[in-house]
Amino acid sequence: MKTVANTLGVARSHLHDKVRRASKPRGPYRKPVDGELLPLVRRLVDERPTYGYRRITALANRELASTGEPAVNHKRMFRIMRQNGMLLARHTGRRIGRIHDGKVIVMRSNLRWCSDGFEITSGTARSFVSPSSSMPMIARSSPGKLSRAPASAAAWSVT
């Protein structure tokens, strides 16, 4: 075989595979029972078009158990659904559509506020929190006393 491979200019492993390999490569794997499962799978997929092969397997196994038939493996269900074009589109993790460009849009000014900081010194709490215009806030002006937040943000320097 070495002489033939050298003469033809091909690898010996390639010639070995050609000699030993079957004349025809095998086709897709199919079991005769797959044809019996196909109507059940097709009905379940038609009823629930957003279900994947694992959920369809669970539903099919429930129905098969109620009739006393053996359960179906999820890999077999995947093969049946793939061969008959019933699989869902693969999730790529990419979103098409609106992309956030960093601009915050509100209906009118003074609607969007955020917390600037919080400081605790010697037992009294001083807050630098800006209130939302739609939600009243409670401020602690002195220990133990609660009061309503000032109406304007300018009066909110330090309480």
Q: Which long-range contacts (CB under 8 A, 24 or more apart) does 80-88 make?
A: 80/34, 80/37, 80/38, 80/41, 81/41, 81/45, 81/53, 81/56, 83/28, 83/30, 84/38, 84/41, 84/42, 86/41, 86/42, 86/45, 87/52, 87/53, 88/50, 88/51, 88/52
pLDDT digits (tens, 9 = 90+) for 89-132: 887 777 777 666 767 666 677 666 655 565 666 666 555 544 44
Listing DSSP states for 74-126 in one string gives HHHHHHHHHHTT-PPPPP-S---S----S----SSTT----EEEEEEETTEEE
In this structure, are residues 141 and 147 in contact, taking their beta carbons and an 8 Å threshold? yes
The rounded distance, in Å, linking the Cα atoms of 44 and 56 is 7
pLDDT at 125: 56
pLDDT at 8: 87
pLDDT digits (tens, 9 = 90+) for 137-154: 444 445 555 445 455 555
pLDDT digits (tens, 9 = 90+) for 43-54: 999 999 999 999
pLDDT at 15: 85
